[in-house]
Amino acid sequence: MNNLSKPIRSLCLLIFFTLIMAGCSTTSEQNAKADKPDTTQQGSFTNPLFPNGADPWLEYWDGNYYLTTTTWTSELVMRKSPTLEGLADATPVNVWSSTDPKRCCNFWAFEFHRLKGPNGYRWYMMYTAGQDGTLDHQHLNVLESAGDDPMGPYEYKGALMPNVWNIDGNYLEQDGKLYVIYSQWQGDEQLNIIAEMDTPWSLKPGSPHTILTRPQLDWEISGRKVTEGAEILQRNGRTFMTYSASFCNTPDYKLGLMELVGNDPLNREHWKKYPQPVFSRTDTVFGPGHNGFFQSPDGSEEWLVYHGNDSVEHGCSATRSLRAQKFTWNEDGTPNFGKPLTPGVVVAPPSGEDGPLVTRVQGQPYQLINATSELCLDIASDPQDNRALQANCTVNNGRWVLDPTTDGYYRLANGESSKFLELANCSDSNNARIQEAAWRNNACQQWSLGTGQDGHSQIKNRHTGLALGIAGCSASANQAVLQQTDSACSQWRLQPMGEVVLLSQQSGKTVASAGQTAGANVQQAAWNHGDNQRWTFKHTDTGYFQLHPQNAPSLCLATENDAVVPGANLQLADCAAKTAQWRLTPKAGGGVLLENRYSKQLVNLANCGLAEGTNLAQGPRLENQCQVFHLRTSD
């Protein structure tokens, strides 16, 4: 297997610099969204969903869509939303980054798959990366999630073939074995190749590397001889593989189809290649390809996600935009993808988005503790009674996941019952009933998490703008939680439960202590399951917390010498220090600000750095993602 030839390298570099010049500014994205026509049905959308969305991969899991697209940077960006349409405005969160010179740059084509690894089911993120200033060394890398949350944290596991050019990796599970399908240039042809895997991040020693697709048909060689981006689709015991054919810098980039008709994926004779493309350009959509597949929330529909261009002149740059549409099946059992939908055509949302849905939602669990009573938001224990009330706090009651929806709102998912907090009957009345129910995707089940008093938060309903409070402001257990105008009992403490990982929204790296003694520096580090990366939030008084690292549980996060000035270093200190207390302020998209009680400064990632060991200090509120951190569970 050979590295990328010089003519191909030159052409790829031309595309790369075209992309850089094209840019992907927030302003252009906002303008594109503003130009999209209004849709009338809740959740309906028009293609493209958003610009600069090349090489998409999308999964629906535990009540949310999760999406990645090529970034061309050193960061791996994830978006999540309970609706497909909501992905267009979902907060992009960097869940991984790298500054290793061998694999720091030009991130392409992320795919995350839930596979059974050595420690049970995990998400495995396979992506292409290489070196700065060249595309000659692009190769596949694999990350593993800490638990079952696609948002991470992720640990780097390795590169499959670090010394040869290989891209567009995808997994195939077949008859209890795991395979990787990847693309590589050999001579003037780009091929799709398959090999068996030993683990989700390593090849089986001695496995043959079998060529599955070689560009030979007229529709596979427009611009250059290319077959890449293989994707697996399995149904009724049959295994299909789509792939992208022809050069991506032409409008004739398209999808082809193969089928495994034997029992050995490593035997080329056991694959059937269909003679005609299955998804091609139209008069309004050009270069549709590099696709993925997902099911609707209720499992009744199959959907295709892909990128395409709006102009025949556009190619492999930031012009490629994200699109999605439903597909069907032919009578002979083969997929029927139809034609790319014309931009601006209103598309109904995937079936089941409006529920009713009962599902466990992934995310950090919280207790929601009333400031007046010091009791927890809970649900009545009687199975016939779904009303919200306050109860003595235990390790099991509530376990609320604060799951972002749209426009800065959240849904409050009960980790015990797998239901969601809602305003009963969407009532506008003061003291209206609050209860839990299956998700039905309405404003009465969404909440804002506003800044309250003394470190607390106010939880207000999206439909009415009224707050959660306690009936009669009672301090007794089993008192109802109701919708109220602002009062002393409408203040709540957001108490993170268990060991918590703090991930930077900028870098995807963790907040970590560099030692176990007072004065040890606090900096960022890639996730490696270390005790220095796990923190507990211990309540002090009102809405404030001490943050204790698990490698030094008697010490706390504080500033050096209790300094109050911007730029003061963060370190471990005696928990009696003036600067050892913090408040949480939720941000749109699920992150939080960590504000010091004494200095009024925020935890800040120095210079918005990505590098391992980048320092953490305090700074004034800057309204950038370098001060936003996401709380994640460590398993």
Q: Both 417 and 338 in a single domain?
A: no
Residues 154 and 60 in one domain: yes
Residues 435 and 472 in one domain: yes
Cβ–Cβ < 8 Å for 234, 170? no
Report the alpha-carbon distance of residue 40 to residue 136 in Å, rounded.
48
Of 591, 549, 592, 550, which is closest to residue 571 (Cα–Cα)?
549
Residues 487 and 617 in one domain: no
User: Which 8-state DSSP code applies to residue 439?
Assistant: B
Q: Is beta strand 45-46 parallel, antiparallel or unpaired with respect to 346-347?
A: antiparallel
Do 591 and 448 have their domain in common? no
Query: Which of 297, 315, 347 is the C-terminal boundary of a domain?
Result: 347
- The answer to the question of residue 387 being in a domain is yes
Contact indicator for 91, 75 with CB cutoff of 8 Å:
no
- The dihedral over CA atoms of 52, 404, 437, 396, expressed in degrees to the nearest 10, equals 130
Whether residue 352 is contained in a domain is answered as no
Q: Evaluate the CA torsion angle 456, 461, 462, 465 in order and state its sign.
A: negative
Looking at the structure, do residues 374 and 490 belong to the same domain, yes or no? yes
Query: What are 524's two structure tokens?
Result: 């960022």
Whether residue 360 is contained in a domain is answered as no
Closest of 321, 315, 323 to residue 347, by C-alpha: 323
Is 323 among the domain residues?
Answer: yes
pLDDT at 41: 74
Separation CA 247–CA 254 (nearest Å)? 9
8 Å CB contact between 502 and 630: yes
φ, ψ (nearest 5 deg) of residue 315: -140, -130
Q: C-alpha angle with apex 165: 160 to 168, nearest 5 degrees?
A: 70
Tell me: do 382 and 281 sit in the same domain: no
> Which residues lie across from 66 on neighbouring strands?
59, 80
- Residue 333 sits in the same domain as residue 411: no
Do the Cβ atoms of 587 and 628 come closer than 8 Å? Answer: yes
Query: Rounded CA gap, 560 and 567, in Å?
Result: 10
Q: Containing domain of residue 583, as a range?
A: 498-633
As for how many domains the chain has, the answer is: 3
Residues 252 and 396 in one domain: no
- Tell me, yes or no, whether 137 lies in a domain: yes
- In angstroms, the CA 405 to CA 80 distance is 9
Q: Which candidate, 532, 531, 511, 589, places its Cα nearest to that of 151? A: 589
Cβ pair 65, 349 in contact under 8 A: no
Of 476, 471, 374, 460, the C-alpha closest to 421 is: 460
The phi and psi torsions of 172 (rounded to 5 degrees) equal -125, 125
pLDDT at 486: 82
Are residues 490 and 515 located together in one domain of the fold? Answer: no
Integer CA distances (angstroms), 131 to 47, 79, 98, 172, in order: 33, 25, 11, 28
Task: Give a yes or no: residue 356 inside a domain.
Answer: no
Residue 447 to residues 113, 398, 468: CA-CA distances in angstroms?
31, 16, 10
| C-alpha–C-alpha distance, residues 301 and 133, integer Å | 43
Cα–Cα distance for residue pair 280/291, rounded to 1 Å: 12
pLDDT at 107: 97
Q: Are residues 468 and 552 in the same domain?
A: no
Same structural domain, 184 and 275: yes
C-alpha 611 chain-centroid distance? 21
Domain CATH for 398: 2.80.10.50
- Asked which of 495, 515, 540 is the last residue of a domain, the reply is 495
Here the tokens at position 584 are 């949480």
Pairing of β 388-391 and β 75-81 = unpaired
pLDDT attached to residue 40: 52
Query: What are the mean pLDDT values of the chain's consecutive 10-residue runs (635 residues total)?
Result: 44 44 38 42 92 96 98 96 97 97 96 96 98 96 97 98 97 98 98 98 98 98 98 98 97 98 98 98 98 98 98 93 98 98 97 96 97 96 92 88 97 96 97 97 97 96 98 95 92 97 98 98 98 98 98 98 97 98 97 98 97 98 96 93
| Contact criterion met (CB below 8 Å) for 54 and 46 | no
Strand partners, 322: 50, 307
Amino acid making up residue 487? S
Please indicate, yes or no, if residue 355 is contained in any of the structural domains: no
What was the pLDDT predicted at 4? 47
Distance CA 122, CA 112 (A): 10
Domain stop point among 495, 526, 549? 495
- Contact (Cβ atoms closer than 8 angstroms) between residue 192 and residue 271: no
| 358 lies in some domain | no
CA–CA gap between residue 494 and residue 478 (Å, rounded)? 20
Any idea what the CATH number is for the domain that residue 334 is in?
2.115.10.20
